């Protein structure tokens, strides 16, 4: 009996002294992006997936590509008379209907109803100083936003899935700071939720999130992200109307792994820094269907299992944009680069 008691005590002591494993770390594994054959050499920043699984991506010179098999194969379309036009955002409705938005040297918004064969111009502003950064939809309602005009963010709205657009009432918006603007890195600086709108900025002496809901007017809330002419918030994603994530940093110093992310648990009023940051500048963040968050940028890709409170590197391969379909992540980037990874 004494020997048995001694043995049990030894086992318990050994277990108590054994190193504790972090449950988060046990989930982490290095992922290899599978390179997908691309039909274009156009830089691809616009990327979105529809509820039916169709993926649309957009780029420079009027190039739009589409996949109906979770990114394995892609068809290419070219919007006529768009040489030099950079379509930095796209909204995917289904396999037939999509909306694209240009950034820089004015603004053009097109839509297609026949899976990319024909494109209809629904809005145009030829003022070369106009620069729009992103577009988002919730059902048929959509908002497009751009850099400030007369001290307020430029905004357009639609209620018919992007077929017609009207100016948003700028008097409802807070004043912007000197140098404050959006970043059109992946078209994900705006989120149109069920009951709220969030718009991310940078470039000034602080990075802010403009947000509004049905219960109150617009507010501009400070965030801890680095902010300067080349830095700020480049992407934003919300899991629901309460939990959201910001990523960004400095696109000039793309390896800086500090002050490049934040998370909120109160709908974007207050933003907190993670205890572990993504490993460099990140131009896009997206939630997967299980709540896992992925952030990507030129220097690599990171994962968070706790809604942005901690991040871990999963790949040294990076992309401009990413989107998830089920357990599959799609990335698009420079010179038509397309990648896919399964979790």
Q: Annotate 50-82 with b (16+ C-beta within 10 A) or e (fewer).
A: beebbbbbbbbbbbbbbbbebbeebeebbbeeb
pLDDT band (50, 70, 90) for residue 244 = very high
Residue 208 has pLDDT above 80, yes or no: yes
Q: Which two tokens mark 268?
A: 């974007």
Q: Taken in order 165, 44, 32, 36, is the CA torsion positive or negative?
A: positive
Rounded CA separation 294/237 (Å)? 10
Residue 198 has pLDDT above 80, yes or no: yes
Which CATH architecture group holds 35-342? 7 Propeller (2.130)
Rounded CA separation 299/235 (Å)? 16
User: For 105-158, what is each residue's pLDDT tens digit?
Assistant: 999 999 999 999 999 999 999 999 999 999 999 999 999 999 999 999 999 999
Residue 335 has pLDDT above 60, yes or no: yes
Closest CA to 334 of 54, 60, 79, 89: 60
pLDDT given for residue 114 in this prediction: 98
pLDDT band (50, 70, 90) for residue 215 = low
Verdict on whether the full-model pTM lies above 0.85: yes
Rounded CA separation 190/182 (Å)? 9
Sheet (strand 321-325) strand order: 34-35, 338-342, 328-332, 321-325
Average pLDDT over residues 197-202: 97
């Amino acid at each position: 009996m004494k020997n048995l008691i001694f043995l049990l005590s030894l086992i318990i002591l050994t277990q108590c002294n054994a190193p504790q494993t972090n449950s988060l770390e046990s989930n982490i594994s290095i992922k290899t992006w599978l390179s997908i054959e691309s039909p274009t050499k156009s830089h691809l920043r616009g990327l979105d997936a529809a509820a039916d699984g169709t993926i649309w991506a957009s780029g420079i010179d009027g190039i739009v590509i589409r996949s109906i098999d979770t990114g394995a194969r892609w068809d290419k379309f070219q919007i006529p008379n768009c040489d030099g036009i950079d379509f930095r955002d796209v909204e995917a409705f289904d396999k037939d209907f999509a909306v694209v938005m240009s950034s820089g040297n004015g603004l053009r918004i097109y839509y297609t109803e026949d899976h990319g064969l024909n494109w209809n111009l629904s809005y145009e502003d030829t003022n070369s100083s106009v620069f729009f950064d992103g577009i988002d939809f919730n059902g048929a309602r959509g908002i497009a936003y751009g850099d400030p005009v007369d001290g307020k963010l430029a905004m357009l709205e639609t209620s018919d899935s992007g077929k017609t657009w009207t100016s948003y009432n700028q008097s409802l918006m807070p004043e912007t700071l000197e140098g404050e603007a959006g970043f059109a890195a992946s078209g994900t600086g705006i989120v149109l939720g069920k009951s709220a709108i969030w718009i991310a900025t940078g470039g000034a002496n602080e990075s802010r999130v403009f947000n509004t809901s049905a219960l109150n007017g617009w507010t501009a809330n400070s965030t801890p992200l680095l902010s300067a002419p080349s830095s700020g918030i480049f992407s934003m994603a919300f899991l629901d109307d309460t939990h959201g994530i910001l990523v960004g940093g400095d696109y000039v110093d793309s390896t800086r792994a500090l002050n490049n992310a934040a998370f909120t648990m109160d709908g974007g009023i207050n933003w907190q820094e993670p205890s572990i940051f993504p490993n460099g500048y990140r131009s896009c963040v997206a939630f997967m269907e299980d709540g896992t968050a992925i952030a990507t940028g030129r220097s690599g890709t990171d994962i968070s299992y706790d809604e942005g409170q901690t991040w871990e590197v999963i790949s040294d391969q990076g992309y401009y944009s990413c989107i998830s379909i089920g357990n599959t992540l799609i990335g698009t980037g420079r010179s038509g680069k397309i990648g896919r990874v399964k979790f």
